[in-house]
Structure 1
Amino acid sequence: MHSFLTLLPLLASALAARPFLNEPDTGIEDVLGDIAVGTLPPLESIVGLPDFEWAARGYMNTSAYTYYRNGAAGEWSYRNNLEVYNRFRLRPRVLTDITNIESTLPTTILGHNFSAPFFISPCARAGYAHPEAEAGLIRGAAANGILYMPALYAILSIEQIAAAKPANSTQVTFQQVYLDTNNIASQAIFKRAEKAGSKAIIFTVDSAADGNRHRAARYGVGSADSSYSYMTWDVFHTLQNLTSLPIIPKGIMTVEDAQLAVANGAKAIIISNHGGRQLDVFTQVEVYADGGVRYGADVLKLLSLGVKAVGLGRPFMFANAYGQEGVEKAITLLKHEIAIDAGNLGVGDLKKIDPSFVSWTNNNWYS
């Protein structure tokens, strides 16, 4: 599993040089291209996660869509996030029993039970796609038993998101935060999160400064957090002493920082580059990862390296244009893709996938 850490610099530096498309050409324009601007195609016509972005782009106003879509500077990291998975080919095994693969999708995240090894990553401003905002995300996650991590800069407050849970719900959420040395303000946020039922704090650490988001600047939809933030491992310790909840650093991008997270007592880490908008730990902490995941095969490649669970942000934000029903459909589609891709890979038990199922030579090819 150490191989994943040695790949991090490669994943961060590989750049795509070809012309970029938001979604692959799978015939969606031919079948749904006559949908009127400002109108969503029927939900039953959505067959994969990229379809949700195509649908949302035609439905949302341009500035709202841009807030979800934008990347840093020339958007090379954004592009690389989407394309890097295709540079590493699967190595399918045959004549293995895969008939019970669906029963192996459930997993635990920090000891909490969930129906699949993926979660809804923190994303701000869900109300830009749907008037019920984050309510669609939390209810969709609850209906399908997956983890949702609400963002601090959500449209709905921490309390409103908690109130949107189904009645008598024991749904587990992890609360995302931006924090620095203002301990009084930080402790107040922690107390609100604890009261709302959050079981962990997701501390975004890859946003010490604002991002150079040229696309966003053109439409006046910059970062939700544009300040310079003082963040060090000493600050991490101080913050951890303010709450009984585990604080999970989100935005680890190097081997060195992963090792420092372990040394500084983090219970888990999230490997991420903020959606391309900013710049042997596996046996000691739980490792989660997000960034550019759009297909079941992407999830499998990360799981094969020892990642415990995989986060998706933009796909769920675009799916939320349909509200809770869209979020639920996105979850169902991804679960199905993971299961059938694992079956075709010859993986009969998702808990037993390992690096041997992927060729970790950078093929740098495009289909």
Structure 2
Amino acid sequence: MRTTTAASLLLSALSATVDATRPFLNEPEIAQADQYGELEPGFQLPPLDKIIGIPDFDYVARGFLNISSYTSYRAGAGGEWSYRNNLEVYSRMHFRPRMMIDVNNIEASMPTTILGYNFSAPFFIAPAAIAGYANATGEVGLTKGSAAKNLMYINAQFSTRSQADIQAARAPGQIMFHQLYVNKNITKTEELVRRAEANNYQALFVTVDSPGDANRQRAARFGVGSADNSFTAMTWDDYQAIRNLTKLPVILKGIQTVEDAVIAANLGAPAIYLSNHGGRQLDGSPSPFEVALEIHEQAPWVFDALEVFADGGVRYGSDVIKMLALGVKAVGMGRAFMYANVYGEEGVKRAIDIMKREIYMDAANLGVADLKQINSSFLNIKKFETAPWGL
């Protein structure tokens, strides 16, 4: 009996060690291979009604697209630790579900006001370059899909479709924002701002997390590295200069520390966007979720001083809910919608519907009656720092 007990304890200890030290997952795997089988480039896409979750779009895109196109979206920096951490960090933050709560009106709390504009949900299509690798409609599919569901969409500077095509695809009155980089030539930067104004974008998201070229080894193997290297590091003086160029709100995309969040708030920024560029710039950079937690713990007043957006590895409704619980106003999804866009506009709409449904279900099971009232009491923050990976 004693030997058996000792052996059991040893096996349990070994099992715990393996669980705690196992490698990161590259992508979530939830029996997609069992349903779709092995897919090859150019195969017939599975029917959209067979797409169950956001990871399914990744699985389909990985099989359908040629390796260069898929790698353009998938690649991270260096050994891709930050890419994987973005995906898995949510598993370390456990929920604290509350029971006996009336959750019948959750859907009514889904609409979200972002920068003064009303959208149908607290998540959005994050800017991602070259949407045309997934589908010939490119950004047109993203524009039409977001319009149909009244979802916030930030159009990327490096688009495959022309601005004329994108503007023609906009629905009457559709609110859209635009992402851009600061050019080494201030005159060219001003030209980009004026072009965005002329195209009736309602806000500018300026990327600040790419002051240097990225060490994207996976991308380099297939010739799909950074889109452009004519852009430069942005300083706080540059930020003020750009704000002086336009009446549009200028949001800094790529904040990665509480210190920079505080500086932005003290400068009167209307909003900040927490992002590590999808883990594509600096391997070892923190996940945006961890940055949101850092702000929550060290400078919670920032969430009241300005609107905070964040992206990074979001694949489930529960990921969005965890971000919202920390104080994030709206949560971005980049790669997820690039993969959904393999199906064009209809894929984008399907992805939006999936996320809305998951947020509703998960919020109900968590005991959140109103998404706008969610707070960190629904999260086990104390356990986060010591939680083993993958649990």
Range into which the TM-score falls when normalised by the shorter chain:
over 0.9
Q: Which runs of 5+ in 2 are unaligned?
A: 1-19, 283-300
SS at match of 2:202: strand
Equivalent position to 1:334, from 343, 347, 355: 355
- The 1-side partners of 2:147 and 2:178 are apart by 15
Aligned to 1:246: 249
SS at match of 1:199: coil
Q: Comparing 355-364 with 71-80, which one deviates more in the overlay?
A: 355-364
Aligned to 1:297: 318
- Corresponding letter in the other structure for 1:171: Q
Aligned to 1:272: 275
* 2:376 maps to 1:355: yes
- The 2-side partners of 1:93 and 1:78 are apart by 32
Answer whether contact 1:187 1:243 (CA < 8 A) is retained: no
Radius of gyration: which is bigger?
2
SS at match of 2:234: coil
- The 1-side partners of 2:147 and 2:131 are apart by 17
- The 1-side partners of 2:197 and 2:50 are apart by 40
Aligned to 1:319: 340
- The 2-side partners of 1:174 and 1:18 are apart by 40
The one-character-per-residue Cα deviations of 1:170-203 (angstroms, maximum 9, x if unpaired) are: 1111100001452321222112211212110000
Question: 1:21: how far off?
Answer: 3.5
Q: Scaled by the length of structure 2, what TM-score is found?
A: 0.87
Answer whether contact 2:102 2:369 (CA < 8 A) is retained: yes
The one-character-per-residue Cα deviations of 1:54-87 (angstroms, maximum 9, x if unpaired) are: 0001000000000000000000000000000000
Question: 1:18: how far off?
Answer: 2.9
Runs of 4+ in 1 over 6 A off after TM superposition: none
Aligned to 1:57: 62
Aligned to 2:327: 306
Answer whether contact 1:159 1:192 (CA < 8 A) is retained: no
Aligned to 2:106: 101
- The 1-side partners of 2:214 and 2:155 are apart by 21
Aligned to 1:204: 207
Equivalent position to 2:35, from 31, 47, 56: 31
Answer whether contact 1:102 1:339 (CA < 8 A) is retained: yes
- The 2-side partners of 1:196 and 1:17 are apart by 50
Answer whether contact 1:72 1:212 (CA < 8 A) is retained: yes
Q: Comparing 190-199 with 296-305, which one deviates more in the overlay?
A: 190-199
SS at match of 1:149: strand
- The 2-side partners of 1:336 and 1:89 are apart by 21
Question: 1:158: how far off?
Answer: 2.8
The one-character-per-residue Cα deviations of 1:127-180 (angstroms, maximum 9, x if unpaired) are: 0010111000010000000110000001123332112113xx111111000014
Equivalent position to 1:344, from 365, 378, 381: 365
Question: 1:104: how far off?
Answer: 0.6
Answer whether contact 1:123 1:151 (CA < 8 A) is retained: yes
* 2:114 maps to 1:74: no
- Corresponding letter in the other structure for 2:104: T
Equivalent position to 2:93, from 77, 88, 91: 88
Aligned to 2:388: 364
The equivalences for 1:101-120 within 5 A come to 101-120=106-125
Aligned to 1:9: none
Question: 1:228: how far off?
Answer: 5.6
Answer whether contact 2:271 2:308 (CA < 8 A) is retained: yes
Aligned to 1:6: none
* 2:18 maps to 1:22: no
Aligned to 1:42: 47
Question: 1:109: how far off?
Answer: 0.4
The one-character-per-residue Cα deviations of 1:221-257 (angstroms, maximum 9, x if unpaired) are: 0011334614100011111111110110000000111
- The 2-side partners of 1:247 and 1:306 are apart by 20
- The 2-side partners of 1:270 and 1:33 are apart by 38
- Corresponding letter in the other structure for 1:239: I
Question: 1:264: how far off?
Answer: 2.1
- The 2-side partners of 1:61 and 1:37 are apart by 6
Q: CA RMSD in A?
A: 1.4
SS at match of 1:343: helix
Aligned to 1:8: none
- The 2-side partners of 1:112 and 1:25 are apart by 36
- The 1-side partners of 2:25 and 2:46 are apart by 20
Aligned to 2:161: 156
Q: Which runs of 5+ in 1 are unaligned?
A: 1-15
